[in-house]
Amino acid sequence: MGPLHWGICSAGKISHDFLVALKTLPPEDHKVVAIASRELSRAQEYAQTHNIPKAYGSYAELAQDPDVEVVYVGVIHPYHLPSTLLFIQAGKNVLCEKPLGMNAAEVKAMVRAAREKGVFFMEAFWSRFFPASEKLRSLLRQGAVGDVVMVHADFGLPLITVSRCTEKELGGGGLLDIGLYCVQLACMVFGGEKPKSIVASGFLHDTGVDKMGSIILNFSGNRQAVFTYSLLAKLPNRASISGTKGIIEIPSHFWCPLQLVVNGKNEEFPLPPPSQKLNFLNSTGLRYEAEHVRQCLHQGLKESPIVSHADSELVHSILDEVRRQLGVSYPQDQP
């Protein structure tokens, strides 16, 4: 079996980091064969920087490239639906950045299209593929902290001056940008169970998007998840999973974890160093989701067992309800 042939949709910051992360994996396993941007010059610049053979000035050209096996979609989230459907309809496997859609309806539309075309399709919740996250799931299966009763997390960064984070037409808002990391953590810990109730409170920006919020998810059996997220200030950015027999702590930067503290005992999971400068923290960790996609395709899978279609639909259904309570709506929510 030769290397997996990647196509990259968008020449933005996260695509750069994904390309750098791929370089930490064996070249006999992963090869980037093409990149597309709405500006050809931008695609050509990335192609030169990352030694990519082909550059396109449209996503349609990338979709029609017969050498591309799987497309990484790194556009901003209001464009996830049209971009992803374009590639799925062309018969390409797709790894799409989070949040997969602007709402649960968009996620269902993409999942339905992927199933109809028989292609692999996954939301790029990179957090779940870090070795620390693999270890976390293993510890929970083993009952290392007994029965889990509480998940707590906070995620805050001073991003309020970044237009992408506050402009509604760009998919701005703290929940869809960073708050969803907290939600997906709870969904993972509680095994994809739907919460029995959701309580949310927060504050909106002048543009109508959320700039800060707190969420309580109540699960069966008196179990709870409590989160705070903010675009106004840096928070501790830690997470903890508390059970009847102990606690697992994920120190700062829980969304790209390199460390677990299990009942007071510390374990570290270092990342390989990047060969080029990164835009985001610990981005070489994107390597783990890329390798997972290769393994899934090798096994003939159409969805990931770690971020399944049902997982994405559950997370987005929770996000929809939180937005409803906060009073945040997007043009994509109109029927």
> Six-digit token pair at 84?
């992803």
> Six-digit token pair at 26?
């064996």
Give the active site residue among 92, 98, 117, 211: 98
- 191 contacts: CB under 8 Å, gap ≥ 6: none
Contact 153, 271 (CB under 8 A): no
* CA count, 13 A, side-chain hemisphere, 109: 16
Angle, in degrees to the nearest 10, between helices 104-117 and 309-326? 160
Q: What are phi and psi of 273, to 5 degrees?
A: -70, 150
What is the sign, positive or negative, of the torsion defined by CA atoms of 48, 46, 291, 85? negative
> Six-digit token pair at 109?
């539309």
Say whether 81 sits in a helix, a strand or coil: helix
* CA count, 13 A, side-chain hemisphere, 43: 23
State CA 325 to chain mean position distance.
23
- 268 contacts: CB under 8 Å, gap ≥ 6: 258, 259
Is 135 catalytic? The answer is no
Neighbours of 48 (CB within 10 A): 10
Q: Where are the alpha helices (DSSP H) in 51-144?
A: 59-63, 80-89, 104-117, 131-142
What is the C-alpha radius of gyration for the chain, rounded to an integer number of angstroms?
19
Output the CA angle 204-207-208, nearest 5 degrees.
Answer: 45
> Six-digit token pair at 134?
């693999």
Give the single-character DSSP code of 177: I
Residue type, 137: R
Q: Residues with catalytic annotation?
A: 98
